[in-house]
Chains A and B, each alone.
Chain A
Amino acid sequence: MSWLWPVDASAYADHVDLLLGGFTVLIVALSAPVFILMAVFAVKYRRGRVADRRHPVDNSVGLETSWALIPFILLLGFYVWATWLFVDLHRTPADALEIDVVAKQWMWKFQHPGGQREINTLHVPVGTPVTLRMASQDVIHSLFIPALRIKQDVVPGRYTTLSFTADRPGTWHLACAEFCGVDHSVMGGSFVTMTPDDYAAWLRTADTDATLAEAGAALFRSHGCSGCHGPSATVHAPPLEGLYGRPVPLEGGEVVTADAQYIRDSILLPRSQIAAGYPPIMPTFANQLGEEDVLRLVAYIQSLADARPEDRP
């Protein structure tokens, strides 16, 4: 029956299947009376056929209310279940393995924390929570992994995330689900789940010269970021050590959290969120840095989360 039911690679996927199965039972129960009664009535009360057709006036508030409310209440039970599962899907585990994803017409690029890069194939360990931080270089794409029953749009201009824990090793499909132009239907590849040991072995064989954060540090220097944000800077720019994950008061009086999105926006649209007490002098790097580079810079600044400005090298 492999052509009738999808394979699955996580407990979450089993849960979604169970939800769908239960819901199918409910909708069959709600619709079967309609189909059966229509057929029975069409035969029994066919024009010209003798039948007892005496009946009271065709109006019954009680009947109307019951067939409006009872199905609705039954549906509400499933609504709670499905919404709970959905909220659960959007909870990012604190200790998750973070992998960066950049989508562009028409390929998927993945960057592992150790700096290993791959295209159209994603390797992950089983039994470990994984969070994908996804960015798009051009149009909207959508990362779809049917075996996990999950997908998430990848929208230009913002990071979206997708968290999962696979628990069966194997090779599965990975696809783009949001129409993205000419080669949309071939923008896909493989999703490979491995035991943690195999994953570690694979990481070692994969070609890499620097971790993500190291690559980000190199960009930080080569693009002149360190000239203002570095220890010997003469301009008044906010220090980035210990910034990640902390609240940042803005010029307008708001306070935002310095998450990946904030750092990305500060690099590409620096005038939108000016940190309080600093002049708006940072230029945009939108024309110099692609989404992959920005993700490396984010990884670098993230790696400074526990550093203090005094610790500057």
Chain B
Amino acid sequence: MSTTAEPPAETEEERVSYFRSGTSLRSWLLTTDHKRIAILYLLSITFFFFVGGLAAALVRADLMTPAPDLMTNEGYNRAFSLHGIIMVWFFLIPSIPNTFGNFLIPLMIGARDVAFPRLNLLSWYIYMAGGLFALATLVLGGVDTGWTFYTPLSSMYANGSVVLVATAVFVTGFSSILTGLNFIVTIHKLRCPGMTWGRLPLFIWSHYATSIILVLATPVLAITLALIAAERLFGLGVFNPALGGDPLLFQHLFWFYSHPAVYIMVLPALGVISELVAASARKPVFGYEFVAGSSIAIAVIGFLVWGHHMFVSGQSVYASAIFSFLSLVVAVPSGIKVYNWTATLWKGHIALDPPFLFAMGFIGLFVVGGLTGLVLTMLAVDVHVHDTYFVVAHFHYIMVGGTVSAFFGALHFWWPKITGRLYPLAWGRVAALLIFIGFNLTFFPQFLLGYMGMPRRYHVYPPEFQVLNVLSSSGAGVLGAAYLLPFVYLLWSLRNGAPAGPNPWGATGLEWTVASPPPEHNFAEIPEVTRPPYDYEIERHDA
């Protein structure tokens, strides 16, 4: 993968690719091609990733010292609220499904597009409309409710533009619903001949599980936010104890959505990792049925554990004991995945390329995040660490260490497919390593801070917590720089990278049988599948 002084000329594949099927702005904004819609999403979520990241940078900078420095208490609260809202709903939830899912699902199952291409475009416009509401909130001063909108703080006491930001999340929720609906129908009805359920790539299985959650959980969030808006605008009272309502009802409804939402964020990442591990080791995924089934199990059990966010809320002791038990159960399918990935590497042919390094980084961080999640299911321990930095560290290990690492892994694995160009592998390795180090430096100290007793969402904190906070903030600096690095060499590769060819990694899967970048309608002839997934060894014996 040497780089030449002259940028390589445009290849024949590129001339007939989806990328060149139209060059006007109109051809992009009115496209119904799933691949182009994926690119639209990629650009938009990248934008929101930086907005959310900027808010995080402000928060970490202010936490360098125990006293308030950069912001007032009010300003700090708005910064972390914005960080959470933007990152959860405008980056993490759409991140992998709406970009890589959109791009790859039709290609992987041998279809020309998703089942409802126009609905797919509509879904992007709805997402952007929600995004505009979110930015309007930002311009109007933001909100100070946290991303969790707990009542009655959000419904009666908060000063910010709560209704506006609730509208933003409400609107973007419908984008999620439509995308999930589209994926489920696509996976059910548009598989090419021979692509049986037992031959689906694991990426598809995890997106199928994710879509079920998107379709069933998001409407509950929508009605909950609508009720919050009604409380603020008309004094509805359903969450207001003074009017006979119950503030805990909000928490039940919110977490009924938001716990499954955690799986919306991480299941697609698990699918990505299965692909990356198999391709890097050139070996079938160990225990395919178990890995596929565990995605569905996570989605289903994930609907039954929301009460574990409420162990100290005044919920009954029996309810807490049951939710604690069910939360242990949901750990089993996650464990199955990790053990199967490890077994996949056994006796493989492992290439230490960026996709593999990102996958290893993911597994390491996901395991730490998952196991500290188990610490949180232990009732007596949760009473102490609930609402402390321990929880903050835990969910960042899952959502940032996990999902964002997988997002970058996917970007490094499928970049040649999406753009038709190769990027410098050495830089990819450096980025993977830096992200891993920066991440751990940022978030590991937060586990200790949490157990020490530093509550989350604290602007001012006791001086004895400063050492760990400074460590965490310096890590955030490394992490921020590490996240910027890939943008440099990936953009560079668009012009200067060597042409990738259809299958630079020697991977299996239908997406690698078409040109890079893929032609406008994916397949000239709908393919027929005759072999099991990840049949790397068969390939080798053939050769």
User: B367 and A45: CB pair below 8 A?
Assistant: no
User: A144 and B387: CB pair below 8 A?
Assistant: yes
A45 CA / B457 CA spacing, docked (Å) = 45
Q: Interface residue tally of chain A, by bracket?
A: 35 or more
Instruction: Scan B67-96; emit 1 where CB is below 8 A from any A CB, else 0.
Output: 000000110010000000000000000000
A223 interface residue per 8 A CB criterion: no
A5-27 interface with B by 8 A CB criterion: 5-6, 15-16, 19-20, 23-24, 27
Our pick among A37, A54, A185 for the contact of B459 (Cβ within 8 Å) is A185
User: A155 and B290: CB pair below 8 A?
Assistant: no
Q: Interface residue tally of chain B, by bracket?
A: 35 or more
B residues less than 8 Å from A151 (CB atoms): 312, 383-384, 386-387
User: A140 and B150: CB pair below 8 A?
Assistant: yes
A3-B467, A47-B351, A186-B460 known; A68 vs B378 contact (CB < 8 Å) = no
A residues less than 8 Å from B364 (CB atoms): 35
Q: Which partner residue on chain B sits nearest A35 by CB separation?
A: B364
User: B363 and A38: CB pair below 8 A?
Assistant: yes
A residues less than 8 Å from B459 (CB atoms): 184-185
A155-B313, A176-B455, A181-B157 known; A38 vs B360 contact (CB < 8 Å) = yes
User: A181 and B158: CB pair below 8 A?
Assistant: yes
A residues less than 8 Å from B77 (CB atoms): 179, 181-182, 184
B207 interface residue per 8 A CB criterion: no
Minimal beta-carbon separation of A7 from chain B (angstroms): 9
User: A185 and B350: CB pair below 8 A?
Assistant: no
A204 CA / B184 CA spacing, docked (Å) = 71
A207 CA / B461 CA spacing, docked (Å) = 31
User: A175 and B453: CB pair below 8 A?
Assistant: yes
Q: Which partner residue on chain A sits nearest B293 by CB separation?
A: A64
Our pick among B281, B312, B464 for the contact of A142 (Cβ within 8 Å) is B312
Minimal beta-carbon separation of B152 from chain A (angstroms): 6
User: A45 and B378: CB pair below 8 A?
Assistant: no
B282-339 interface with A by 8 A CB criterion: 282-290, 311-314, 317, 320-321, 324-325, 328-329, 331-332, 335-336, 338-339
Our pick among B381, B387, B468 for the contact of A23 (Cβ within 8 Å) is B381
User: A157 and B347: CB pair below 8 A?
Assistant: no
Q: Which partner residue on chain A sits nearest B245 by CB separation?
A: A157
B residues less than 8 Å from A178 (CB atoms): 150, 387
A51-100 interface with B by 8 A CB criterion: 51-55, 58-60, 63-64, 67-68, 71-72, 75-76, 78-79, 81-83, 85-87, 89-90
Our pick among B152, B156, B324, B345 for the contact of A38 (Cβ within 8 Å) is B345
A38-B363, A89-B383 known; A185 vs B457 contact (CB < 8 Å) = yes
User: B453 and A144: CB pair below 8 A?
Assistant: yes
User: A41 and B348: CB pair below 8 A?
Assistant: yes
A55 CA / B241 CA spacing, docked (Å) = 64
User: B383 and A269: CB pair below 8 A?
Assistant: no
User: B152 and A41: CB pair below 8 A?
Assistant: no
A241 interface residue per 8 A CB criterion: no
User: B347 and A51: CB pair below 8 A?
Assistant: yes
A residues less than 8 Å from B285 (CB atoms): 58
User: B287 and A175: CB pair below 8 A?
Assistant: no
A45-B348, A79-B325, A185-B457 known; A19 vs B374 contact (CB < 8 Å) = no
A105-B157, A176-B455 known; A146 vs B348 contact (CB < 8 Å) = no
Instruction: Scan B344-367; emit 1 where CB is below 8 A from any A CB, else 0.
Output: 111111111000100010011001
User: A157 and B247: CB pair below 8 A?
Assistant: yes
Q: Which partner residue on chain B sits nearest A51 by CB separation?
A: B347
Instruction: Scan A21-47; emit 1 where CB is below 8 A from any B CB, else 0.
Output: 001100100110111011001100111
Our pick among A19, A38, A63, A269 for the contact of B381 (Cβ within 8 Å) is A19
Chain B's interface: helix, strand, loop or mixed, by majority?
A: helix
Our pick among A19, A34, A157 for the contact of B363 (Cβ within 8 Å) is A34
A79-B378, A144-B453, A186-B73 known; A157 vs B246 contact (CB < 8 Å) = yes
Q: Which partner residue on chain A sits nearest B459 by CB separation?
A: A185
User: B360 and A87: CB pair below 8 A?
Assistant: no
A34-B342, A158-B241, A181-B157 known; A19 vs B380 contact (CB < 8 Å) = yes
User: A269 and B458: CB pair below 8 A?
Assistant: no
Instruction: Scan A230-270; emit 1 where CB is below 8 A from any B CB, else 0.
Output: 00000000000000000000000000000000000000010
Q: Which partner residue on chain A sits nearest B158 by CB separation?
A: A181
B132 interface residue per 8 A CB criterion: no
B residues less than 8 Å from A274 (CB atoms): none
Minimal beta-carbon separation of B216 from chain A (angstroms): 26
B494 interface residue per 8 A CB criterion: no
B residues less than 8 Å from A114 (CB atoms): none
User: A79 and B453: CB pair below 8 A?
Assistant: no
User: B453 and A45: CB pair below 8 A?
Assistant: no
A71 CA / B345 CA spacing, docked (Å) = 21
B residues less than 8 Å from A75 (CB atoms): 328, 331, 374
Our pick among A5, A71, A150 for the contact of B335 (Cβ within 8 Å) is A71
A2 interface residue per 8 A CB criterion: yes
A222 CA / B368 CA spacing, docked (Å) = 60
A149 interface residue per 8 A CB criterion: yes
Q: Which partner residue on chain A sits nearest B246 by CB separation?
A: A157
A179 CA / B459 CA spacing, docked (Å) = 11
User: A184 and B380: CB pair below 8 A?
Assistant: no
Our pick among A6, A30, A31, A46 for the contact of B352 (Cβ within 8 Å) is A46
A82 CA / B384 CA spacing, docked (Å) = 12
A119 CA / B437 CA spacing, docked (Å) = 44
B49 interface residue per 8 A CB criterion: no
B residues less than 8 Å from A272 (CB atoms): 244
A157 CA / B77 CA spacing, docked (Å) = 25
Our pick among A27, A46, A67 for the contact of B350 (Cβ within 8 Å) is A46
Please name 7 further chain A to chain B contacts, defined as beta carbons within 8 Å, in addition to the given A3-B464, A38-B342, sorted by A numbering.
A27-B371, A37-B342, A47-B351, A68-B335, A89-B383, A156-B242, A185-B73
3 tightest A-B CB contacts, nearest first: A157-B241, A146-B453, A86-B379
Q: Which residues of A are at the interface with B, using a C-beta cutoff of 8 A?
A: 2-6, 15-16, 19-20, 23-24, 27, 30-31, 33-35, 37-38, 41-42, 45-48, 51-55, 58-60, 63-64, 67-68, 71-72, 75-76, 78-79, 81-83, 85-87, 89-90, 105, 138-140, 142, 144, 146-147, 149-153, 155-158, 160, 173, 175-186, 269, 272, 286
